[in-house]
Structure 1
Amino acid sequence: MSEEAPTSFERRLDARLVLSVIAAGIMSFSGVCVETAMNVTFPTLMSEFKIDTATVQWMTTSYLLVLASIVPTSSYLNRRFKTKTVFTVSMCFYIAGIVTGLTAVSFPMLLCGRILEGIGTGIALPLMFNIITEQAPTKNMGVMMGIGTLVTAMAPAVGPSVGGWLAENFGWRAIFAALLPVLIVAFVLGIFSIRQSHPVEKRKFDALGWVLLSLSFVCLVFAVDFGSRLGWGSPAQLALFAGFVCLLALFVRHEKNVDVPLVHLSVFGKRRFVLGVVALVTLQFTVLGLSFLLPNYSQLVMGTGQTEAGSILLLGCFVGALMAPLSGQILDKLGARRPILTGASCALLGVILLELFSGNLHTAAATAIYVCFAFGQSLMVGNTMTTSLEQLPAETRADGNAVINTLQQLAGALGTSVASAIVNAAQAGASNVAHATMLGTRSAYLVLAVVMVVPLLCMERATRAKGSAD
């Protein structure tokens, strides 16, 4: 049953489409901005709230875990409610989270704010890409994906540098205060620009499927976190891993038998799509791992301030942001293989260089190496997402979008948790915290370098000529 919805929609590239993408993207921008900005403040938060590395990383992990739980509902929300309604609700959650963070007087209250922000961003992130895939002309899809990626790619450039400067001069709460005007602008843009491009359907929500999937994610993230607290292979950690596997198996079985599934698992029948998903997930694991490692290494090992620590990511993220729309144009002109494989190679090289020089790294060198990584990331993300979603029929692209965004957020949470666990293990009982942090960071870089081989191999296979992969 449809209600007050268009029976047909003309795809066109105009100002309203661009503004609606920007409006939805600003919340994604704000989420990543706060995340990367707060990474720079971790040593300050550890001191103020008397917490350790394994605890403070939950600022990022809790946010990404909530995102991973909310994003799977995006396919249902996209079909059940008007686009503008979904946007408004997500904005309300996000602003509530920002205000909670701004007024937080304890670490648990700060975490509650991040959880509310995660709900808002979890709704908004797929919304942006759904608008693009449903409303952009096919010939301009690569460029529009690039614009969407640009919105979120700017956040890692702004977050650490501006956030570090705000925290160092006005305190970490200023990070939340500075975002409120940006969110008001986004709200106004969204209200006046977002269009409805598809009929709204009355359909049931697969609550049981959502609970099973969310609980499986919780078990997995806590299992990784317990590795740093109780030791890898501890009974509690093994029990959580077992819980993750069982819950995920129950979710898959349930989805195959339910009339209206949370996510159509048929998308996993497309081999090229699956390879693209694996590439994006492993890349996101590395991106969030580096976002945690570099600012903390800079402060604890190199002895820099928050502003300088944040600036390490600035140039690389700025280059990546500039490349985002250009990479879409490259895709439209040259196809997927060359830009994606070039990007994967540059990103892998960047992580390898960080590992090789981690014992004697300074700000300029770290910045230059991260530029190499960010350049590769910008060539990969939007192009890989576009190429992967093109493998799916139009009616399941919202499900494919939900799968990609869900697993990216889960991978980000795991990347932060794993990086934190490795560093925390090295710091445990060490008399020289700076040296221990250096050793732990080097080990984490080695793990990330191995992980970054995966997207290169996956996309080499996924972008082969038709007939050799699917």
Structure 2
Amino acid sequence: MTNNKQMNLGLAILAIGVMSFAGVLIETAMNVTFPTLMQQFNIATADVQWVTTIYLLTIAVTVPLSTYLFRNYSIRGLFIFANLTFLIGLLIDFLAPSFLLLLAGRLLQGVATGIALPLMFHIILVYAPIRQRGTMMGIGTLTTSIAPAIGPTYGGILTTQLSWHFIFIFLVPVLLLSLVLGLKVIPYHQVEKTGRLDMVSLFGLGLLFTGTLIFLSQIGTLFGWVALAFAIWGTWIFWHQSRHRDQTLINIKVLENRTFRLFLLGFLVCQFLLLGISFVLPNLIQIVNGKSAFIAGLVMLPGATVGALLSPLSGKLLDNWGAKRPILFGLGLSSLGWGLLTLILGVNPLWGFVFSHVVYMVGSGLAYSNLMTTGMSAVSDEMRGDGNAIFNTLQQFSGAVATSLVATIINVVQNHSQLGYQKATVLGSQLALFVLFLALIVILWRCWLFFRTPKAS
């Protein structure tokens, strides 16, 4: 590959990465606005979480289309469509006078991000030399993982000083920069259309994701059980289509690869934790500690910055040393930091939150992108597109599930505990973090067993 082509590859990844960055930034930036939104729109914790959940749900439903889209549309065309859709969503939310209109804008932003995320990794996996793949994946992950570093602070400053509406309008220049850069470096290539879109599979996937999230937010109600039934029905539809069609939305045979399954699960657990803590900690700091959205964002800043900056370094470690050391060491540090964070929530020292979060994010930064790279490297070239779609789809869905799950746990404790509202919020937050802590310990143990085998070494 010539230097010119390498430069264009890097700029193309940057252009799409900037859009993906904006998508993740706006996700975490909105988390610190929840107490404000609850007051302004007179809604409960279980309702306000849909600002994030509907966004992640839309991404999760859009990402499975990526394999079909890459086969039938040019990268340039997909990039332009995603960018313009994102811009429209930003303008709608900047002007949104109601909660429903706010959700509509979030839906459009989810469609755009659902195209941008797999598009960025598709370019890396297809065009980057294999010897540079770990590093390029780390750089690609950096563009999205650095967003949580500044997202809460960005959202906190604007919510405190201006209004949450400005979170959206200030991203318009960022999207325009991405659009101009992408138009310059992403060429148009004629694509020979192959296959038709499997609408039945897409319908089943939509039922599965939507039903699951509604069930989690309506646990214990008749509506919740009905939603669960639809989720199970959707699972059967998607599975049946995948097993009986030649061209499916996603070829789930890639899940028969045990190594792929293990590191996919580890990646999703890390995503659970990232989204769970971005919901729990900012809200706890505002509701229990009585601090502003700006302070809540500042508490998250050091850990998220460290974790983001480690992403490209962790990819370099994988290229040079292999997967074992960065993944196991990273998961171990994550477990230590998360355990400390769970224990000190009831004490509420802000410096303790910062320290524990930094320890956790150092571990996450070492393990997160390497789990994806290792899992994707275990599949064949023919199934790489399907593996990429599964990773990105379940990444967003797991984030939506994590947000919905922790919000539901906190809301249930708040409504049924004999404690006061603030103490119930602390107890609910500790319980939510403990549930996620158990999942982290399990995946650490499974990865340790995997790397003990001679083949893995």
State the TM-score bracket (shorter-chain normalisation).
Answer: over 0.9
Residue in 2 aligned with 1:3?
A: none
Q: Structure 1's 11 and 270: CA in aligned 2 closer, same or farther, altered over 3 A?
A: farther
Aligned residue type for 2:444: L
Q: Could you tell me how far 1:89 is from its partner in structure 2?
A: 0.8
**Alpha-carbon distance in 1 for matches of 2:267, 2:230:** 25
Residue in 2 aligned with 1:319?
A: 306
Q: Does 1:432 align with 2:423?
A: no
Q: Could you tell me how far 1:432 is from its partner in structure 2?
A: 2.6
Aligned residues with identical type, % of pairs: 39
Residue in 1 aligned with 2:65?
A: 73
Q: Structure 1's 42 and 191: CA in aligned 2 closer, same or farther, altered over 3 A?
A: same
The 8 Å contact of residues 90 and 120 in structure 1, kept in 2 or not, is answered as: yes
The 8 Å contact of residues 122 and 385 in structure 2, kept in 1 or not, is answered as: yes
Q: Could you tell me how far 1:244 is from its partner in structure 2?
A: 1.6
Q: Does 1:103 align with 2:90?
A: no
Q: Could you tell me how far 1:280 is from its partner in structure 2?
A: 1.0
* Counterpart among 125, 128, 131 of residue 133 in structure 1: 125
Structure 1, 411-420 or 251-260: larger mean CA deviation:
251-260
**Alpha-carbon distance in 1 for matches of 2:164, 2:223:** 35
Q: Does 1:263 align with 2:278?
A: no
Provide Cα deviations, 1:325-350, integer angstroms capped at 9, x if missing partner: 11111001110011011111111112
Q: Does 1:295 align with 2:291?
A: no
Q: Does 1:337 align with 2:317?
A: no
Q: Does 1:157 align with 2:127?
A: no
Q: Could you tell me how far 1:190 is from its partner in structure 2?
A: 1.1
Q: How does 1:77-96 map to 2 (within 5 A)?
A: 77-96=69-88
Residue in 2 aligned with 1:351?
A: 338
Aligned residue type for 2:338: V
The 8 Å contact of residues 97 and 113 in structure 1, kept in 2 or not, is answered as: yes
* Counterpart among 265, 268, 276 of residue 281 in structure 1: 268
Aligned residue type for 1:217: F
The 8 Å contact of residues 73 and 191 in structure 2, kept in 1 or not, is answered as: no
Q: Does 1:447 align with 2:435?
A: yes
Provide Cα deviations, 1:66-98, integer angstroms capped at 9, x if missing partner: 111010001111111111111111111111111
The 8 Å contact of residues 266 and 443 in structure 2, kept in 1 or not, is answered as: yes
The 8 Å contact of residues 59 and 393 in structure 2, kept in 1 or not, is answered as: yes
The 8 Å contact of residues 216 and 404 in structure 2, kept in 1 or not, is answered as: yes
**Alpha-carbon distance in 1 for matches of 2:445, 2:140:** 26
Aligned residue type for 2:436: L
Residue in 1 aligned with 2:356?
A: 369
The 8 Å contact of residues 306 and 362 in structure 2, kept in 1 or not, is answered as: yes
Q: Does 1:386 align with 2:378?
A: no
Q: Structure 1's 116 and 29: CA in aligned 2 closer, same or farther, altered over 3 A?
A: same
Q: Does 1:247 align with 2:227?
A: no
Aligned residue type for 1:78: F
**Alpha-carbon distance in 2 for matches of 1:216, 1:86:** 26
Q: Could you tell me how far 1:160 is from its partner in structure 2?
A: 0.3
**Alpha-carbon distance in 1 for matches of 2:155, 2:115:** 24
Structure 1, 432-441 or 455-464: larger mean CA deviation:
455-464
Residue in 2 aligned with 1:26?
A: 18
**Alpha-carbon distance in 1 for matches of 2:224, 2:324:** 40
Provide Cα deviations, 1:425-444, integer angstroms capped at 9, x if missing partner: 12216673211111111111
Q: Could you tell me how far 1:236 is from its partner in structure 2?
A: 3.3
The 8 Å contact of residues 207 and 233 in structure 2, kept in 1 or not, is answered as: no
Provide Cα deviations, 1:363-397, integer angstroms capped at 9, x if missing partner: 22111111111111111121111111111111211
C-alpha RMSD over aligned residues: 1.9
Q: Does 1:460 align with 2:452?
A: no
Residue in 2 aligned with 1:50?
A: 42
**Alpha-carbon distance in 2 for matches of 1:169, 1:67:** 30
**Alpha-carbon distance in 1 for matches of 2:236, 2:450:** 27
SS in 2 for 1:150: helix
SS in 1 for 2:12: helix
Relative to the length of structure 2, the TM-score reads 0.96
Q: Structure 1's 15 and 331: CA in aligned 2 closer, same or farther, altered over 3 A?
A: same
Provide Cα deviations, 1:29-55, integer angstroms capped at 9, x if missing partner: 111111111110111111111111111
SS in 1 for 2:230: helix
* Counterpart among 20, 30, 34 of residue 38 in structure 1: 30
Gap regions ≥5 residues in structure 1? 1-8
**Alpha-carbon distance in 2 for matches of 1:157, 1:216:** 31
Q: Could you tell me how far 1:458 is from its partner in structure 2?
A: 3.4
SS in 1 for 2:291: coil
